[in-house]
Structure 1
Amino acid sequence: MSLADPTSDTTPFFSDDAEGEGSSDKDEGPSPQQQQQEEDSPSGLSKTRAFLTVGVLCYINLLNYMDRFTVAGVLPDIEHFFSISDGKSGLLQTVFICSYMLLAPLFGYLGDRYNRKMIMCFGIAFWSIITLASSFIAKDYFWALLLTRGLVGVGEASYSTIAPTIIADLFVKEKRTNMLSIFYFAIPVGSGLGYIVGSAVNDRAKDWHWALRVTPALGVVAVFLLVCVVKEPKRGAIEARPEHTLHRTSWLADMKALCQNKSFILSTFGFTAVAFVTGSLALWAPAFLFRAAVFTGEKVPCVKEPCDTSDSLYFGVITCISGVLGVSMGVGISQYLRKRTPRADPLVCAAGLLLAAPFLYLSIIFAQKSTIATYFFIFLGETFLSMNWAIVADILLYVVVPTRRSTAEAFQIVLSHLLGDAGSPYLIGVVSDSLKQADSYMWEFRSLQLSLLLCSFVAVGGGAFFLATALFIEKDRHRAENYIPSGVH
């Protein structure tokens, strides 16, 4: 089977003109029945292969977020090991997000033009090697840990900008929304598992370094599955608009079109608020809960490793459950309301953020009085916050034409992280340090408590952006569905 065969693993890595073209080669390949099924499917993949592809992508997405938040799960140990302040601790997440954010446009550009499967294989292999290397850093080299966390962003950027566009080329309408909801289940579940695995491995090994050695091994499995299972679909074919009829435009033309797309821009700003809040909570919530327990006398301070990481374990469980519930609620409510209004998606996103804000506020305030109430309000806040994940991705896919989707994903990643979780963990840490009036356990708790209150107000702002998106969503969706290129660039 030649590289140009539509039933093969799509285009060569350094070519973009073979996708969707036939071949006369008769090398060994799939059985005649499988070949016929794939030829009958507009995407070039059978239903079985399409579902397997989504399954592999979900596994990698789960692994992606699991690795991202393993560090947060053992943050008290890292702070003690390197003897660093809250501001420096926040940099661990910030350097990762900055690297991830800056490289997303590059991989978005490549993803719209070259073999997406090969790009993802490279990125995941690179990310696994760097994560493993970060687990061998000695205590005098905190800068090296920052460097490796930054390099991890290279691998994750190669995956996150591309994977949703592959799902978009496999399914349409309600089935696409369902597949995206499954894909985005991996965000809260993977995040929660990061806290859980980090805490459990740290407790078992009595060394936080071992927590960073779990995901690299699973990354090897991910690369194997990508190579053996995933086949790239034809771009846009499932929507009866093959990419060769749309014509690829220049990057500048793509960016100009995206900036004129009001629904895309406003929903991206709304998603930026989600990123700000989740980024802040992801890094600081377990540490805040631990400090609250020390403040109330329920736990003793961490004076030697390993620190008590039970709060990371509990927060991880809450994140998993609330995430699955929130994503399911968001998709279910959205699908129900779509029958009544075409503006359902942005309205559900707005409701999620506006409902999350007061519960997050209460969880922070109640931390000094009741641990049970704090966890309860965190659960409710995270549940409503998670209603956004799959819906925001679906909005992007139906208001942007297929040949610009990877670029749009990259643009959304850059903007949402630049103004969201690239700076929010560091900002929360710096504000906490500035509010600290004495070097005491009480002020370690109080200062972080006051700085985290900012998250509730940002959530309200995000809800306002989604309400504004609802004003333009019908027009922009209609324009994307009926897009006719003005010419070939």
Structure 2
Amino acid sequence: MATECIDPWTGGPQSQALSPDGQYGALASGRCVPPSTSASWSLPRWRAYLAAAVLCYINLLNYMNWFIIPVFIGCLLVSAPVFGYLGDRHSRKATLSFGILLWSGAGLSSSFISYQYSWLFFLSRGVVGAGAASYSTIAPTVLGDLFVKDQRTCVLAVFYIFIPVGSGLGYVLGSVVAELTGNWRWALRIMPCLDALALVLLILLVPDIPRGAAEKQEEVAVEAPRSSWCEDVRYLGRNWSFVFSTLGVTAIAFVTGALGFWAPKFLFEARVVHGLQLPCFQDQCGSQDSLIFGALTVATGIIGVILGAEASRRYKKVNPRAEPLICASSLFATAPCLYLALILASRTLLASYVFLALGELLLSCNWAVVADILLSVVVPRCRGTAEALQITVAHILGDAGSPYLTGLISSVLQTGRPNSYLQRFLSLQHSFLCCAFAIVLGGGCFLLTALHLERDQAQARQSGKGTLESKDATSRNTEHQGLLSSTSTPAEE
């Protein structure tokens, strides 16, 4: 069969597949494509950036809806693998649209539920979490198919900036609307209006991109049989870069979950120790520590994502293992910052705030970089499943349990001792030390990721289908046939 060959593609694991007329697609990838395939997919550069802007806007709305965290995360964990499976096998645009309809409809309906049916309200927030799972698992894979190399890193940075921004705006919008209207329910009724706009923009401006459109994997250029979900999970379990980076992300989630839940309480107790705040032995104590910590989280989140992405973009040019090394370095630097923030809290509150802000800044450097690692080491056909598994593991072993573990350690340390504000401060201070150890383990996981990164990136670039074993078998068969043909040539002559 005759094939049409374009200039060879010699790029790295994320080389730019951009045509001279500024289009992304198969014809820009420089492969020999059989005319019977449907690989001549292309997209103007401005359309790619417009689609990325829409996805970033929806990500902002996604994180503005995150409250009643236990119910939300519980349903997100259950539904994330389902949406990962659908995103790898069906139209991602349709799946994203369904997710937006799900979370906006549940959010709007929850505003009309009376107090007598509080269980139904919690259930509706769980449905919002299920809808958000569709976006958290699929949207990064769409960006991975729109951009490669440095542009992918920059776009992912912008995308993940909206996580802290959305979280902060969610609290601000909810409090402002509740204050203006005198009813918190109106905050839930405004969000569906923004969600409806997001759905319209998604349908009109975001194309249904072929999987692997940027890298032009052979499984995109040639229609290959689909693998099963179990085969995809098996492949991911043997992809050591994915496994170790997921464990590193879990350590980050563990620390951020514990800090988000207990840091305002710890700062309040520290202010009591310094005589800046009257002691409080009630469950709810009024203070501004939650607001201060929230502002620190948003500010350091924005700056950290930008710094991490820029460091990755520059360092990758001189070291192919730059991404996991940056993650490991930032986590190893975070550990002493958290330790000093805890130890110095009893002596100087200002130093505690400074080191706490530095620790959060260093933690935030990893979000976009980790997403870039996943997209570069996992083949396009199962990136949705990879995102879902990473989210599930990070939440189950990370922020879903770390607040309870930290509180449990604090309670155990306080058992048999006087119930004083000083003792509560010391027990919480000592229980927080487990976060410093967890973050060191996360840094070690990223060092292990660096050992396997180049191999897994090379395997992700290989054309073909199925798991790693099938790819290796195919390459061995090809080599064997080449040897047979070379040995038979002299005999024929």
Report the TM range for the smaller structure's normalisation: 0.7 to 0.9
Separation (CA, whole Å) in 2 of partners of 1:239 and 1:67: 33
- Is residue 196–residue 312 contact of structure 1 (8 Å, CA) maintained in 2? no
CA drift at 1:155: 1.1
Percent same amino acid among aligned pairs?
Answer: 50
Q: Could you say what secondary structure the match of 2:305 adopts? A: helix
1:472 aligns with 2:472: no
- Map 1:160-175 → 2, pairs under 5 A: 160-175=136-151
Write the distance in 1 (CA, Å) between the matches of 2:117 and 2:421.
27
CA distance in 1, matches of 2:411, 2:179: 28
Runs of 5+ consecutive residues of structure 1 not aligned to the other structure: 1-33, 72-91
Q: Which residue of 2 aligns with 1:31?
A: none
Contact preservation (8 Å) 1:207, 1:306: no
Aligned match of 2:439: 459
- What is the 5 A alignment of 1:15-414? 43-68=41-66, 71=67, 92-132=68-108, 146-197=122-173, 215-241=191-217, 243=220, 245=222, 247=224, 248-300=226-278, 308=286, 310-414=288-392
SS at match of 1:238: coil
For residues 193 and 343 of structure 2, the distance between their equivalents in structure 1, rounded to whole angstroms, comes to 40
Aligned to 2:15: none
Query: Counterpart in 2 of 1:448?
Result: 428
Report the counterpart of residue 485 of structure 1 in structure 2.
465
Sort the Cα spacing of 1:264 and 1:49 in 2 relative to 1 into closer, same or farther, 3 A: same
What residue identity is the alignment partner of 2:260? A
Superposed CA offset, 1:22-65 (max 9, x none): xxxxxxxxxxxx9x999977654322221111111111222222
**TM-score, reference length from structure 2:** 0.78
Quick one: structure 1 residues 40 and 473, their matched pair in 2 at CA, closer, same or farther if it must change by over 3 Å? closer
- Looking at structure 1, the residues matched to 346 and 118 of structure 2 have their Cα atoms a distance apart, in angstroms, of 32
CA apart distance, 1:446: 4.1
Q: Secondary structure at the match of 1:239?
A: coil
Matches within 5 A, 1:395-434: 395-434=373-412
Q: Which amino acid in 2 is paired with 1:173? A: K
Contact 1:167/1:180 (<8 A) preserved: yes
> Which is further off, 450-459 or 192-201?
192-201
User: d(CA) in 2 for partners of 1:243 and 1:344?
Assistant: 28
Contact 2:56–2:158 (Cα < 8 Å) also in 1 = yes
Please tell me whether the aligned partners of residues 191 and 316 of structure 1 are also in contact (alpha carbons under 8 angstroms): no
Secondary structure (helix, strand or coil) at the match of 1:45 reads: strand
TM-score normalised by L of structure 1:
0.78
CA distance in 2, matches of 1:204, 1:294: 33
| Cα displacement (A) at 1:264 | 0.9
* 2:201 counterpart letter in structure 1: L
Sort the Cα spacing of 1:434 and 1:139 in 2 relative to 1 into closer, same or farther, 3 A.
Answer: farther
Are the counterparts in 1 of residues 154 and 310 from structure 2 also a CA contact under 8 Å?
A: no
**RMSD over aligned Cα atoms:** 3.3
Change (3 A) 1:148 1:184: same
| Residue identity opposite 1:454 in structure 2 | C
Q: Deviations over 1:82-129 (max 9, x none)?
A: xxxxxxxxxx53443232122111100000111212222222232234
What secondary structure sits across from 1:485 in the alignment?
coil
**Residue type matched to 2:262 in 1?**
W
> Deviations along 1:135-154, whole A, 9 cap, x unmatched?
67777877566544433320
Distance 1:393 1:240 in 2: 19
Q: What is the distance in 1 between the residues matched to 2:362 and 2:115?
A: 39
Q: Is the 8 A contact 1:356 1:381 kept in 2?
A: yes
Please give the alpha-carbon distance, in whole angstroms, between the structure 1 residues aligned to 2:276 and 2:180.
Answer: 23
Moved more, 260-269 or 318-327: 318-327
Report the AA paired with residue 48 of structure 1: W
User: Greater CA radius of gyration, 1 or 2?
Assistant: 2
Deviation at 1:471, TM superposition (A): 0.7
Judging changes above 3 Å, is the alpha-carbon distance between structure 1 residues 305 and 408 closer, same or farther for their aligned structure 2 residues? closer
The answer to whether the Cα contact below 8 Å between 1:192 and 1:318 also exists between their aligned partners in 2 is no
Residues 457 and 183 (structure 1), Cα distance of their counterparts in 2 relative to 1, 3 Å cut: same
- Preserved CA contact (<8 Å) 2:24 2:146: no
Kindly indicate whether the alpha-carbon contact (under 8 Å) linking 1:95 and 1:422 is maintained by their aligned counterparts in 2. Answer: no
Alpha-carbon separation, structure 1, partners of 2:265 and 2:174: 14
Say which SS state the counterpart of residue 89 (structure 2) adopts: coil
CA gap of 1:246–1:375, structure 2 versus 1, over 3 A, is farther
Q: Which moved more, 1:39-48 or 1:125-134?
A: 39-48
Cα 1:377–1:139 change in 2 (3 A) is farther
Aligned-partner Cα distance in 2 for 1:37–1:412 = 28
